[in-house]
Structure 1
Amino acid sequence: MMNKEKITSIIDFYLKKFVEVNGNTLPNKIEAEMADPNQNQDEEWRIWFPIASKVTDNEIKEFENRLGCEFPEDYKIFLKHKHFYELYILEASFFKHPVNSWKESLGEMIFHENLKDDLIEKGYIPFANWSDWGLLCFDSNRNKEDNNYPIVLWDHEKADEMEDVFNDFYNLISEDDIENEQPL
């Protein structure tokens, strides 16, 4: 369970940092459980707060069945830790994870019609944007025995090429920990 503690600690660190610099505002509708209850409802930009995840193992299993493959265990820890609208670690901007619509939100990104032929049908499962280059994807074609897939970068300008960027999800999350000496 050491991975779980480290992953949750790093997620908490970056979400806390984001809130401290007032980055947690969006010009969108915010789900009630995540919205600032003290904010004037007439303001255009809405304040949101990360909250404990309500994602269950059964919900993840349902999503995996729709996807046709299982997520890595470390990514499941990620999904079951916090709900958020924005989370940045390294150059990764993780797909939003709102409390009541996380499956729809994640599904919109993963099953996006423009990506279906380039990614999903080839075994690449997107989960985050990478800077302005493209998408980080699990390469479900490799390490199938433990679902600890390598992470590849799909560059939107080189749609037919994949570049290995991280050994696995844990490596992505913990890489920044090494560079910035994040607390555990």
Structure 2
Amino acid sequence: MKEQTIKNIIDTYLTKWINIGLNQKLRPIEVEMSDPNQDKKEEYRIWHPIESKVTDMEIKEIEDRIGHNFPNDYKTFLKHKHFYELQISEASFCEHPINTWRKSLTEMIFNGYLTEFLIDEGYIPFINWSDWGLLCFDTNRNKDDKNYPVVLWDHERADQFEDKYKDFYDLLTQLDKEERKNIS
């Protein structure tokens, strides 16, 4: 049931993104994700989410590089859809295009100065929060089941973390509730 809830939430917001016409980028789009009916002369390129091709082996390679396993719910997320943008409430998920998702995710995780404040301290960034922070898995807790709490890191207070969500599933369901409340 959790897996299906995760997929439903992701599909809802990807569909919303498309319905309001925000599925465009001012850069090349992976062929598998590009709109085949779009005029090639258009400056902005239209993308469509597609079924994920992420494998367990690819996830394991990233986990080995960062030294921590991802929560199962996050793996469900990674293996559901490829997309360029996904925004739910204040959360902007790391882009997840078909052929370059690993590069996007590892750049977010290992982006320069963040390493000493985050990865080296057991925090794995995976979502941009508003325009001032990152949501991270706190791998220092719940190590047995890898169902890490999600904490908020503010780049202006590099040594402080705020508990935000119980785990990845709680993150998605709470973001969905917040977004639905804001729409009403």
Q: TM-score range by the shorter chain?
A: over 0.9
Structure 1: which 4+ aligned runs deviate by more than 2 Å? Answer: 176-182
Task: Judge which range, 21-30 or 36-45, deviates more.
Answer: 36-45
Q: Determine what percentage of the aligned residue pairs are the same residue.
A: 60
Q: What is the CA–CA distance in structure 2 between the aligned matches of 1:45 and 1:181, rounded to whole Å? A: 29
- Which TM-score applies when normalising by structure 2? 0.95
Q: What is the CA–CA distance in structure 2 between the aligned matches of 1:163 and 1:117, rounded to whole Å? A: 18
Tell me what 1:53 maps to: 52
Tell me what 2:84 maps to: 85
AA matched with 1:106: L
AA matched with 2:31: A
Tell me what 1:103 maps to: 102
Tell me what 2:66 maps to: 67
CA-CA distance at 1:89 after TM superposition:
1.3
Alignment of 1:127-138 (within 5 A): 127-138=126-137
User: RMSD of aligned C-alpha atoms?
Assistant: 1.3
Structure 1 unaligned segments of length 5 or more: list them: none
CA-CA distance at 1:42 after TM superposition:
2.1
Q: What is the CA–CA distance in structure 1 between the aligned matches of 2:94 and 2:67, rounded to whole Å? A: 19
Contact 2:89-2:179 within 8 A present in 1 as well? no
CA-CA distance at 1:181 after TM superposition:
5.7
Aligned residues: 181
Deviations 1:12-61 (A, max 9, x none): 00000100000101101110000111112222111000000000111111
Q: What is the CA–CA distance in structure 2 between the aligned matches of 1:18 and 1:6, rounded to whole Å? A: 19
CA-CA distance at 1:178 after TM superposition:
3.4
Tell me what 2:17 maps to: 18
Check 1:27–1:180 CA distance in 2 against 1; reply closer, same or farther (3 A cut). closer
CA-CA distance at 1:105 after TM superposition:
1.1
AA matched with 2:51: A
Structure 2 unaligned segments of length 5 or more: list them: none
* Helix, strand or coil at the partner of 1:148: coil
CA-CA distance at 1:179 after TM superposition:
4.2
- Which TM-score applies when normalising by structure 1? 0.95
Contact 2:94-2:126 within 8 A present in 1 as well? yes
* Helix, strand or coil at the partner of 1:126: strand
